[in-house]
Amino acid sequence: MTEYSRLKTSRSAAIKANLDYPIIDTDVHTNDFTPALEDYIAKYGGSKLVDELRKAEASRLNSKSNGKDWYQQTPEERQYNRTIRSPWWARVTRNTLDLATYTLPELFYERQAEQGSDYSVLFPNNVLAPAGASKENRQALQRAVNHYHADLYRKYSDRLTPVAGIPMGNPQEAVEELEFAVKTLGLKVANIPGGVKRPIKAIADKYPADQYPEIAKYASYIDFYGLDSEYDYDPFWAKAVELGVPITTHYGSQGWTGRSSISNYMNNHIGHFADGSQAFAKALFFGGVTKRFPQLRVAMLEGGADWGAHVYIHLVDRFSKRSLKGLQNYNPDNANSDELFVLFERFGSEFLQEHPLSKEELTKSVLGSSFNRHSRSPVGSELEDFAAAGIETIEDIRDRWVNSFFFGSESDDRTIAAAFNDKANPLGVKINAIYSSDVGHWDVPDLTDPLAESWDLVQEGVISEADFKAYVFHNPYKFYTQANPDFFKGTAVESKVPTPQVDKSLVVA
């Protein structure tokens, strides 16, 4: 391997040599060598599972209308069908060494030092492809894919660990696959889709999918599990806590309103991971998942960390206005009809002359011109959006947003400064930004660059050295070990850090 090594010229390796703590990369994308994967799956579950994988992968990568994907359609057909522009050229090719590195576990393992990393969590590109398979084969295919990755990387486990893909079509299958992945395969991190598309029943009943496939394609909504779901996903969150599994997701929003250009991939791409992850995280927060499961640790990857600070700030701002106490400022019953009438007599007498009204009629008219015109006033639990989350103070928001969530930020993302801005973030907190190189995707043309690019942010004054340490070590370490104190046992990280202590305040009796 020495003829390929650039260790001596790697800026990241040079920076790493001067650090007294390990580097934990939470987001590395590897390629599966397709012939080997398909052979494994065929032996595992027969040719039908291979066919399912191929169909699911093709469906995931291409937006189709009338059986033709974007690249098969003419500009006129794209306009007519509003076919969303699909990504293209998403893998590094000119850098052939890196192309091979993403595909060959032994080569990637040997280049860890060159990359400047001590430990990497791997997201093989096929890991969630089974989520798009048919319902009858989805679990079997997911199990086969997870088993393949567990076997492929097992001997490199001191520095590399692949995630387990978990289908989330319903809580039962999610629990079953999580248990199999952890107890049978020994996998330690779960990767889930941040939402599941489901049919709108009122439309599906009238226009069945088998008869009206084009209508079914659009007449859907996204279930984010925590809020307004058709299922109770608490058994899955409970199982993740019981097994000590940190949950991760790369959930995007390409195709959503504002991200549905039929011609421009970048228009659809910029910010889409942040928007998709935000929808997922808010559902867990407002649905009370982070309240009921304070030990649950969830990381949203590839979207940056600034949106985590943005939402946290606005949660605090809005709670001050929309808590039960704050809502009384807007309760129609609290409007003073006498005072309102006096003010109209003094400053709006012309209105009353043209439209003579009683005090009660005047108040009703004024309130009706605002956002209070409804068939009835909300009552009970309808009043408070923060009720299920159990928010009584802004400290509760901190505990159920900041403590529970971690935000994958790529190495050259300067917006990370917002995560560490404890002057702007309420209660002086810093958001849990975690080092997510995104190695293996088009935005990293050289895998030896990311750590050095992150250090550039220190030199440019975007973040401090303490923030850098939190980003590349402390926050990732906290994410994994708060879920599972033994996460790094037997790894290259174990000997470089103190034995983790369990925070007893987070233990559920």
pLDDT digits (tens, 9 = 90+) for 126-162: 999 998 888 899 999 999 999 999 999 999 999 999 9
- Which amino acid makes up residue 356? P
Pick from 40, 35, 33: nearest CA to 100: 33
pLDDT at 58: 79
pLDDT at 499: 56
Q: Kindly give, in sequence order, each residue whose CB lies less than 8 Å from that of residue 68, ignoring residues fewer than 6 positions away.
A: 77
Q: Kindly give, in sequence order, each residue whose CB lies less than 8 Å from that of residue 208, ignoring residues fewer than 6 positions away.
A: 216
pLDDT digits (tens, 9 = 90+) for 67-106: 788 999 999 999 998 999 988 898 889 999 999 999 999 9
- Which amino acid makes up residue 330? Y
Torsion angle in degrees (nearest 10) through CA of 73, 75, 79, 83 = 40
Rounded Cα distance between 475 and 494, Å, is 16
Q: What is the pTM of this model?
A: 0.92
CB 224 within 8 A of CB 194: yes
Rounded Cα distance between 45 and 321, Å, is 56
Torsion angle in degrees (nearest 10) through CA of 354, 357, 361, 366 = 40
Residue 270: how many CB atoms within 10 A of its CB? 10
pLDDT at 509: 37
Q: Digits of tens for pLDDT over the chain (509 positions)?
A: 445 555 557 899 999 999 999 999 999 999 999 999 999 999 998 999 999 999 888 776 666 667 788 999 999 999 998 999 988 898 889 999 999 999 999 999 999 999 999 999 999 999 999 988 888 999 999 999 999 999 999 999 999 999 999 999 999 999 999 999 999 999 999 999 999 999 999 999 999 988 988 888 889 999 999 999 999 999 999 999 999 999 999 999 998 989 999 999 999 999 999 999 999 999 999 999 999 999 999 999 999 999 999 999 999 999 999 999 999 998 888 999 999 999 999 999 999 999 999 999 999 888 876 555 666 778 778 888 999 999 999 999 999 999 999 999 999 999 999 999 999 999 999 999 999 999 998 889 999 999 999 999 999 999 999 999 999 999 999 999 999 999 999 999 998 886 544 444 444 43
pLDDT at 373: 61
The string of DSSP codes covering 161-175 is EEPEE---SSHHHHH
How large is the C-alpha radius of gyration of the chain? 26
Q: Could you tell me the two tokens for 455?
A: 């250090």
Helix (H) or strand (E) holding 123: none
Residue 14: how many CB atoms within 10 A of its CB? 15
Pick from 213, 389, 367: nearest CA to 284: 389
On the CB side of 389, CA atoms within 13 Å amount to: 25
pLDDT at 290: 98
CB 330 within 8 A of CB 324: no
SS3 of 401, please? helix
pLDDT at 410: 94
Pick from 225, 226, 203, 222: nearest CA to 214: 203
**All domains in the chain, ordered by first residue:** 7-27+85-123+148-321+405-500 (3.20.20.140), 325-382 (no CATH)
Q: Which long-range contacts (CB under 8 A, 24 or more apart) does 152-155 make?
A: 152/105, 153/105, 153/122, 154/186
pLDDT at 214: 82
SS3 of 199, please? strand
SS3 of 405, please? strand
